[in-house]
Amino acid sequence: MTDTQAHREQVHERVLSWYAAHGRDLPWRRPEATPWGIYVSEIMAQQTPIARILGPWLTWLKRWPNPAALAADPPAEAIRAWDRLGYPRRALNLHAAATAMVRDHDGEVPADLDQLRALPGVGEYTAAAVGSFAFGIPAPVVDTNVRRVLARIALGEAQAAPSLTKAERDLAAAWMPADPDDANRWNVASMELGALVCTARTPGCGVCPVADLCVWRVAGSPAYDGPRRPHQGYAGTDREVRGAIMAIVREADAAVPAAAFTDVAAADRIERAVAGLVADGLLRLSEQGYDLPR
């Protein structure tokens, strides 16, 4: 089996039909979703599973239904509302982006890829995702799931490379349907296929709509023999220490003295974590102690 245009069109047709029947009903995918709601979902979904962001997303949009509402509050409120989603720098980026939208874009999410890339915390993937899902710009949206789907269907490889390559970007662009509407639906449908069926460890080839068109499956599902991705857990890491310190500060009604962190970890790790949080703008040091930025 070779990767031809006819092969791609068959895959497109089946995956789009599968998605129409089996795609998850997520609020930011509904027709009434606003560009701001889609933008918030993409920032929250950076390095966080979809299942964990649904509740926080609903709460966030109820409190801050547009960029102006968020920009009017201090950054501390964004960090506090972020709670335990992890990587709280994203909350600061969301606040800074909302401020930029109010200042530079009339309080709206910009409908331009270059302007999206210029927002704090936005890279190539997030700009493409917001452009595609919010504004119908048919830019390739290449996340881990899409990379794995294309590695298997098009290249016959069990997994994608540990990090995104130019060759993968070119492959994703080549696999975009010609019709803009189909291209935007393909972005979300191929992502959903990778999340629900074409998973990393236990792919559901028996229920995959394109199993007979998958180069990897037809070749007998050969094992991955490329470089392994580095794996880092959470327990015992500096991230865990930072998270514990942030939890103490978020839950306090006033500035917290350094002594409040004593039981979190060893003194040198606490010192390193606190210094990093201050450098990242997530904590502020005053005469009273540590609190969230204002």
What are the tens digits of pLDDT across the range 138-182? Answer: 999 999 999 999 999 999 999 998 888 999 999 999 999 999 999
Nearest to 76 by CA among 59, 61, 95: 95
- What is the rounded CA–CA span in Å between residue 89 and residue 91? 5
Q: Where are the domains of the chain?
A: 5-12+18-22+140-218, 24-135, 238-291
Q: What is the CATH number of domain 238-291?
A: 1.10.10
Its pTM surpasses 0.85: yes
Whether the pLDDT of residue 293 is over 80: the answer is yes
Q: Return the percentage of the chain with pLDDT > 70, whole number.
A: 96
Classify domain 24-135 at the CATH class level. mainly alpha
Same fold, 5-12+18-22+140-218 and 238-291: no
For 291, phi then psi, to 5°, come to -145, 180
What's the chain's average pLDDT? Answer: 92
What is the signed CA dihedral for 267, 271, 276, 277, rounded to 10 degrees?
Answer: 90
**In DSSP terms, which residues pair with 291 in a beta bridge?**
284
Known catalytic residues are: 42
Question: Between the CA of residue 209 and those of 8, 92, 172, 284, what are the distances in Å?
Answer: 13, 41, 19, 52
Classify domain 5-12+18-22+140-218 at the CATH class level. mainly alpha
Higher pLDDT, 111 or 87: 111
User: Could you report the per-residue pLDDT of 196-230, keeping only the tens digit for each?
Assistant: 999 999 999 999 999 999 999 999 999 877 666 55
Task: Label residue 103 by pLDDT band (50, 70, 90).
Answer: very high
- Residue 136 backbone zone (phi > 0: left; psi -120 to 50: alpha; other: beta): left
Q: Return the percentage of the chain with pLDDT > 90, whole number.
A: 68
**In DSSP terms, which residues pair with 256 in a beta bridge?**
290
HSE-up of residue 252 (Cα within 13 Å, Cβ side): 19
